[in-house]
Structure 1
Amino acid sequence: MKIKLDKSTEILSEILEKNIIAKSKSRIEYAFDSMLEFKSNYEIENCSKDEETDELLAEYGTYNWNPEEKPEFEFTLTRQIQLDGEEEYYQIKLKLTFDPKNFGEIEDMSFWAMDFDNLAEWKAEIEKTDGYLKAKETELLNHEISLDAT
């Protein structure tokens, strides 16, 4: 289904809410399921057809973006797109935040889906990492869905 870019965060939020009703999985599993469903079922209107203009990125690490607040461990799934005729990219992000004390010395990581043969391989590789495994068993502090221009 084709959707307008400005509706993307609303639709991703609806998918996430629909998926977490059963509560039989961890929040990070629901996040992955929701982002993959969003990517496979929704095409962004006017998205460029060039290679690498509709990609997924998973990244995590302990960050402190605001020195007045304490750091948090963030696990972010991003769908990055480029619209026809535009130079910049747009990022539809699903960010999960956790208490960093549970993540010790886990190093920051990032995984572009384009670096793998398919999305299943991309997801399987991420699911083996320490950051994912710890996030799977740790209580979620918050989640946020946003749309940003790069």
Structure 2
Amino acid sequence: MNRKPSIALNEVEVYFRQRLATTAPPGTPLTIGLVLDVMSQFYLDTSIASIDTSAYDNDMLLFQWGTYYYEGEMGRQFCLDVTRQFQLEGEEEFWQLSCSLYYPPEYDALGAGSCWSVECETLQDWRRGLNRLELATLANLLPSQVKIILSAT
């Protein structure tokens, strides 16, 4: 039986960045479609050491979108975000590895919302649901900025 590789909390962000870099050939633009593919695969085939498996929602994916105001030079931006949220054993807070892609605010008309992977029977069903959103039209659009951050909630 093949076991998923397990990585420590302090390796999560670097590991995800490496997965992104090795999945796309050099010079390939980072799109939300690519980020969804890599984050989904990361979720399916990589364990994070010490995740509390006592509840089904202690390791899940979140897709969220909307127009927000950011401090500094970014100002008002439309954001597409894919997050892996997990809870470690013995901790009350959750950890989030987020990959956020920013676009001009003219995509405001797409509104705001979120979809959790645990709201669907399978990860495949979650991805199919995301493809039905109007946001699918942005799948290959190049973002003005990308941020990858691991943080505690």
Same fold (TM over 0.5): yes
Name structure 1 gaps, 5 residues minimum.
none
Give the alignment's TM-score, normalised by structure 2. Answer: 0.88
Give the alignment's TM-score, normalised by structure 1. Answer: 0.90
Select which of 134, 140, 149 maps to 1:146: 149
1:115 Cα deviation after fit? 0.4
Residue in structure 1 matched with residue 62 of structure 2 by the alignment: 57
Does residue 10 of structure 2 align to residue 43 of structure 1?
no
1:68 Cα deviation after fit? 6.1
Does residue 77 of structure 2 align to residue 72 of structure 1?
yes
Name structure 2 gaps, 5 residues minimum.
none
Separation in 1 of the partners of 2:71 and 2:20? 27
State the Cα RMSD in Å.
1.9
Residue in structure 2 matched with residue 16 of structure 1 by the alignment: 20
Are the aligned partners of 1:26 and 1:136 in contact in 2 as well (CA < 8 Å)? no
Moved over 3 A (4+): 22-26
Separation in 1 of the partners of 2:8 and 2:142? 33
The number of aligned residues is: 148
Separation in 1 of the partners of 2:74 and 2:50? 38
**Equivalent residue of 1:139, what SS?**
coil
Paired residues for 1:45-124 under 5 Å: 45-51=49-55, 52-66=57-71, 69-101=74-106, 103-124=107-128
